[in-house]
Homo-oligomer: A and B are copies of this chain.
Amino acid sequence: MREVAIIGVGLSQWGEIWGSSLRSLWTEAALAALADAGIDRVDTITVGSMSPGLFVGQEHLGALLADEIGMAGVPATRVESACASGGVSLKAAFAEVASGLASIALATGVEKMTDVSGDECTAALATAADAELEVFHGATFPGLYALMARAHMERYGTTREQLAMVAVKNHKHGSLNPRAQYRQVITVNDVVRSARVADPLNVLDCSPITDGAAAVVLAEIGLARKLAKGRPVVRIAGIGHATDCIALHNRPDMTTIPATTKAAERALAMAGKRPQDMHLVELHDCFTIAEIVVLESLGLCAPGEGGKQAESGRTALGGALPVNVSGGLKSKGHPVGATGIAQIVELTTQLRGEAGKRQVAGAKLGLAQNMGGTGASTVVTVVEVAS
């Protein structure tokens, strides 16, 4: 298998972007990544997007978007695993470069979520759950994550305030990120007193609805070294992917996410690393409880200890294991198909030492965890500065 490196990264504006379409947001991110890589051609394109059919009435994004940047002709494919669509987009592009089918790949993600009403948006997002076993019976994602939160509180004594501290930390990080959708610093009191969404989760426990796109350029590592121009070469050391039953009630334990554990084991084995080796982590904090459960599922803390991680300062910028220094989904925003790619944008920026005020000192090795649904799909990626 050929070694694969990341040679360019780009983001569009993120937020409620009324003045841009899906295609213009995607183009903004793709051109930024190509400019960052210093190249003007690629061999293949992948587009992670969860539901452009329901959000903007447009499937067939591969061909549409390749043409949008003047690359009609280039192989281009959309890939989807709900909110892990960005992760599987990265993996699909990785496989093409690793196999030799392509030497340079543009791996992207995009979602334009605000062209529909709030109810339509909730309905579109619900298609990531099991239509027959969950959605038909009224389940929504805030409701499902609320079940996980309540189960975690019951079993481990995790507190309402510990949930809130995840949001407080990630907003503090996001305040340092010019690209973040919400840059205001918030307090535990703000979270606890914010509007109830699904007990025990309030609105400030939830990631927002976001329009946005993200892109990374992958290349075979020999080529990457030639194009590096003095910047550190960041390689994909490991990538792991796993699934689970979608319906939360069919899993034996709601306080852990087995697909995340399996995907991490695969990625870490491929990279030859351990969880505790990581210098920073970007993980899928779609709700505050998700960050807590995912930290445990990744083996970054013991089961039941997730609630204490933000509380103790360990996962804050400056702590022993900074988590979501980008602001995470909570503060940076969550355009669902773009999130998994944006995590790689952040890790690459950090590993290059180009993250400005939110730079993690000495970051040479990082891990990204991106999941769909209540964790039925997870992609874990380990990136490191190539020696």
The chain A residues found within 8 Å of chain B, CB to CB, are 1-2, 21, 44, 50-54, 56-64, 66-67, 71-82, 88, 91-92, 95-96, 98-101, 124, 127-132, 135, 241-246, 258-259, 262, 372-373, 376-377
Interface of A is mostly: mixed
Q: Which of B57, B88, B246, B377 contacts A127 (CB 8 A)?
A: B57
Which B residue's beta carbon lies closest to that of A259? Answer: B73
A58 CB to nearest chain B CB (Å): 4
Known A53-B53, A373-B60, A377-B63: A77·B79 in contact at CB below 8 Å: yes
Whether B74 pairs with A243 at a CB distance below 8 angstroms is yes
Known A95-B96, A101-B95, A101-B98: A243·B79 in contact at CB below 8 Å: no
A151 CB to nearest chain B CB (Å): 20
Interchain CA distance A243-B374 in the complex, whole Å: 34
Q: Which of B60, B101, B127, B262 contacts A58 (CB 8 A)?
A: B127
Chain B residues, CB < 8 A from A130: 58, 64
Whether A1 pairs with B101 at a CB distance below 8 angstroms is yes
Chain B residues, CB < 8 A from A51: 53, 59
Which B residue's beta carbon lies closest to that of A243? Answer: B63
> Can you identify 25 A-B contacts, CB atoms within 8 angstroms?
A1-B101, A52-B127, A54-B54, A58-B127, A58-B130, A60-B81, A60-B246, A60-B372, A60-B377, A62-B80, A63-B81, A63-B372, A63-B376, A67-B246, A71-B243, A73-B242, A73-B258, A73-B262, A75-B241, A75-B242, A77-B81, A77-B88, A78-B79, A95-B101, A99-B99
Interchain CA distance A364-B364 in the complex, whole Å: 52
Chain B residues, CB < 8 A from A242: 73-75
Whether A56 pairs with B243 at a CB distance below 8 angstroms is no
Q: Which 10 A-B pairs have the closest CB atoms?
A: A99-B99, A75-B241, A63-B376, A98-B99, A60-B82, A63-B243, A95-B95, A59-B127, A58-B131, A67-B245
Number of copies: 2
Whether B50 pairs with A59 at a CB distance below 8 angstroms is yes
Which B residue's beta carbon lies closest to that of A47? Answer: B80
Chain B residues, CB < 8 A from A88: 62, 77
Given A53-B124, A79-B80, output 16 extra A-B contacts at Cβ < 8 Å.
A1-B101, A53-B53, A53-B54, A57-B135, A59-B80, A60-B82, A62-B80, A63-B81, A63-B377, A64-B376, A67-B246, A73-B244, A75-B91, A78-B79, A78-B81, A96-B99
Chain B residues, CB < 8 A from A92: 77, 79, 92, 95
Which B residue's beta carbon lies closest to that of A57? Answer: B131
Interchain CA distance A204-B15 in the complex, whole Å: 48
Which B residue's beta carbon lies closest to that of A55? Answer: B53
Chain B residues, CB < 8 A from A132: 21
A112 CB to nearest chain B CB (Å): 11
Whether B373 pairs with A63 at a CB distance below 8 angstroms is yes
Chain B residues, CB < 8 A from A135: 57
Interchain CA distance A153-B89 in the complex, whole Å: 41
Chain B residues, CB < 8 A from A82: 59-60, 63
Chain B residues, CB < 8 A from A72: 243-245
A284 CB to nearest chain B CB (Å): 14
Which B residue's beta carbon lies closest to that of A71? Answer: B243
A91 CB to nearest chain B CB (Å): 7
